Structure 1
């Protein structure tokens, strides 16, 4: 039996070790979360964009505060404010501050899949979704329309089943910068819609793009898509200071949880897992409650019977047989009241019949028993034989009444 258990333990240990080995050497999964954070190297981070901007613009500042707070102390210099995220929503008061800042001669560039209604209403715009006909396998074609960019080809993106476009424009003030279509090799009947627009606002300029993916690591590094992103950046004045928003981001710039350090490093993550497994094994095999041996404490002896015998011996030694008999008769009558629910005050023929019916006795037996009891109660001097006869009769009644 011991050898059999040892074999099971060895097999279990080897299996567990194999699982750990396979998990440790498993290829790390790609994180497709759309963070848009400037230092993230994941596909939908913007680390590559940040590196490109560092080489092009003379003055760059990352803004980690809300725009309304930042612009209070930075509203005098003509500059560009760049927002890139999956969704950007300012709120009415903050949007009013941004538009006022833009109207002073600044440039506001927002790349987002979703725009708040108040911004669209102000600029006379509307957006809708454009869907492909092949699900996630569909490739949307993006194009910059400015002929001066010499970008005559389309730039494809295939990681989404839909994309946003501007379904309504202020044709007097809006200039289409980029377009998107759902064209595919099998479908020639496709739609073309504006996806990037430029609009003068006061003395400044507004540029809105419904395709923020164009600024992510994945898009820029794929094929020759960097030309598309560079074409968009060419609409910005590289001599002006550039403010890059890092406040409105889907991902976190800083990870406040200390567990991120463990779980983001392969070695530390598995060390952490091994500690948890070790604790679990300890709980299973060694975590049982241990305590000192409990001393044996003998229960207290029931002295009631000994006390009763002592009292009985005292009565018997003094010759008080009548007192003993009266006590036994009183206890007997109490048992009848308790067990058979009969009133013992009146002992007549009806009482005898009820007691006989409830105690498995005949009427004659009950009558004879109570005649004996009454005769004992009426005697002033009681012999040992009479006391023994009374006790025997009472015990026989109890035994038969209880089915013994």
Structure 2
């Protein structure tokens, strides 16, 4: 009854904990997923849902295949189209990049917005990715560090609160300050490795560095933009109607749009439990805690549990002790003749079992057979047989020394045979 009471209390505590966790306000998830099916700040559901209004009459299709597979499987539209890619990082295999450039060369449009781009693509366009520090080192060098302050905390005091981006077209440009971005965004920009930049500069950052370029490539156009955060839900709603995202997308022609979701969600049909777990920090931590708990269980509870197995001593062979005891009994009683006869009978039994000999008569034939089968010298055999006859003759009054001589000769016989 007492145990049930404790279990009831424990169950109530667990239920209350679950309810509190379920109904408590959720902290804002600032993970940069750029997924088109999430409402968190750095997802892209808002811009994806507004694309049909920006390009009336044009089909917007979410694709979840590498670009090479889109072209190889014949899933690209027959008419010209726009490939729209927005992600934290643009990671493409070489065959994807080559197929994408061929796609643009044929008269289509590609719009890539990311913080990094494939090496093959930047090399082809004679570009490199530059990164601005988010710390104002000029102010930091002019200030003094507190005694109880470590280096990281010291530099964090001079971290920029925001970065600015702007568009170069006077119709879209917003004063001198531009579009203000927070949350450590827009630090990347493009650096040309060619003396002549064969591209149109559509956007810059607060330092005048290029972060939005348009390339004429064959019959089509390729747009590169290095601040994908401007297309997120957070900045789309914060900047309102005159936001950077709509103005940047206005450069795209009115044609069907292929929205790349492969970089964020993988291939169509993938429902991996791990992929789902890593979509939420809470689920991710729960997964890691589960693995850690299982590891601790294996370490501390995985040992076999059972009673200590007692050490059992092997059964000892007491035959020799028995023989010694019996022999000692006969010796103490001075019954030399009886003991001598038992040793003789034991020796004869040994000959019958070991060599298959007849032992009824210890005659000449017996001796010759014994020599042939044992290899013992004939003289030793004669001496032993003679000793046996002597012992049997004096059986009524056998001296101790005669018993000892018989025993020594028989033991010598055993050693020679072995």
User: TM-score band, normalised by the shorter chain?
Assistant: 0.5 to 0.7
Alignment of 1:334-349 (within 5 A): none
1:79 aligned to which of 78, 81, 86 = 81
What's the CA shift for 1:79? Answer: 0.8
Q: Could you report, residue by residue, the CA deviation over 1:27-47 in whole angstroms, capped at 9, with x for unpaired residues?
A: 545443322222233332222
Equivalent pair of 1:138/1:161 in contact (CA under 8 Å): no
Cα 1:290–1:55 change in 2 (3 A) is: farther
Equivalent pair of 1:37/1:252 in contact (CA under 8 Å): no
Q: Distance in 2 between matches of 1:242 and 1:117?
A: 25
- The aligned residue for residue 312 of structure 1 is 328
1:62 aligns with 2:77: no
The answer to which of 61-70 and 120-129 deviates more is: 120-129
Q: Distance in 2 between matches of 1:226 and 1:38?
A: 21
What's the CA shift for 1:257? Answer: 1.6
Aligned with 2:132: secondary structure? strand
1:144 aligned to which of 141, 148, 167 = 167
What's the CA shift for 1:94? Answer: 3.0
Cα 1:151–1:170 change in 2 (3 A) is: farther
Aligned with 2:262: secondary structure? coil
Q: Could you report, residue by residue, the CA deviation over 1:244-284 in whole angstroms, capped at 9, with x for unpaired residues?
A: 112233889854027947996989x99xx99x99xx99xx9
1:244 aligned to which of 253, 259, 263 = 259
- The aligned residue for residue 42 of structure 1 is 40
Equivalent pair of 2:39/2:233 in contact (CA under 8 Å): yes
- Give aligned pairs, total: 304
Equivalent pair of 2:37/2:45 in contact (CA under 8 Å): yes
Cα 1:64–1:196 change in 2 (3 A) is: same
Cα 1:39–1:18 change in 2 (3 A) is: closer
Alignment of 1:5-16 (within 5 A): none
Consecutive unaligned residues of structure 2, counting only runs of 5 or more, are: 137-155, 344-397, 402-418
Equivalent pair of 1:37/1:251 in contact (CA under 8 Å): no
Cα 1:114–1:301 change in 2 (3 A) is: closer
Q: Could you report, residue by residue, the CA deviation over 1:53-97 in whole angstroms, capped at 9, with x for unpaired residues?
A: 244342011121121221242263111011112222434443232
Aligned with 1:34: secondary structure? coil
Equivalent pair of 2:113/2:226 in contact (CA under 8 Å): yes
1:103 aligns with 2:81: no
Q: Distance in 1 between matches of 2:81 and 2:400?
A: 128
- The aligned residue for residue 212 of structure 1 is 228
Q: Distance in 2 between matches of 1:88 and 1:107?
A: 17
Q: Distance in 1 between matches of 2:125 and 2:116?
A: 15
Q: Distance in 2 between matches of 1:299 and 1:53?
A: 87
Q: Distance in 2 between matches of 1:243 and 1:315?
A: 113
- After superposition, the CA RMSD in angstroms is 5.0
- The aligned residue for residue 406 of structure 2 is none
Q: Distance in 2 between matches of 1:156 and 1:130?
A: 16
Aligned with 1:143: secondary structure? strand
1:235 aligns with 2:259: no
The answer to which of 76-85 and 157-166 deviates more is: 157-166
Q: Distance in 2 between matches of 1:113 and 1:263?
A: 20
1:195 aligns with 2:193: no
Q: Distance in 2 between matches of 1:126 and 1:320?
A: 114
Equivalent pair of 2:165/2:186 in contact (CA under 8 Å): no
Alignment of 1:162-311 (within 5 A): 163-168=187-192, 173-181=198-206, 191-224=207-240, 227-238=243-254, 240-249=255-264, 254-257=270-273, 260=276, 289=305, 303=318, 305-311=321-327
TM-score by length of 2: 0.57
